[in-house]
């Protein structure tokens, strides 16, 4: 999870696509990921809870209007061939 947060903060859309579980990649657009990553200023990652294959986190950022925002998500990951892949996420308000 930390590496994916860092990829958003450093605008590494290729890494984000590569670490998304292969069957799920069709639901994501590299250009949309890059757009969201670059239009926000990433401040901090807080891991709220983690289990064997889930991570609940809060990503703090400033949006394009410099308003503080929190992205709160419970992400599911799958371990395959020695690597972890993002499967999906449940968003909280």
As separate numbers, helices (DSSP H) first and strands (DSSP E) second, the chain gives: 3, 4
Region 86-93 average pLDDT: 94
- Per residue in 24-77, pLDDT (tens digit) is 999 999 999 999 999 999 999 999 999 999 999 999 999 999 999 999 999 999
- Starting at the edge strand found earlier in the chain, the sheet holding 41-50 runs 41-50, 54-62, 68-80, 83-92
Q: What is the pLDDT of residue 1?
A: 82
Residue 43's nearest CA partner among 17, 80, 25, 68 is 68
Model confidence, pTM: 0.91
The structure tokens 């290729």 sit at: 14
Chain centre to alpha carbon of residue 39: 15
Integer Cα distance of 30 and 49 in angstroms: 28
Of residues 44 and 93, more confidently modeled: 44
Which residues are CB-neighbours of 79 under 8 A, at least 6 positions away? 53, 85
Query: Band of the pLDDT at 93, cuts 50, 70, 90?
Result: confident
Q: What is the pLDDT of residue 22?
A: 96
Which residue segments constitute the domains of the chain, with CATH numbers given? 2-92 (3.10.450.50)
């Amino acid at each position: 999870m930390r590496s994916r947060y860092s990829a958003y903060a450093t605008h590494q859309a290729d890494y984000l696509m590569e670490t998304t579980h292969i069957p799920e990649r069709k639901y994501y657009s590299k250009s949309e990921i890059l757009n969201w990553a670059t239009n926000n200023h990433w401040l901090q990652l807080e891991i709220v809870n983690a289990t064997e294959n889930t991570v609940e986190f809060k990503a703090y950022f400033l949006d394009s209007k410099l308003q503080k925002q929190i992205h709160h998500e419970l992400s599911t990951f799958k371990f395959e061939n020695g690597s972890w892949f993002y499967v999906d996420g449940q968003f909280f308000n």
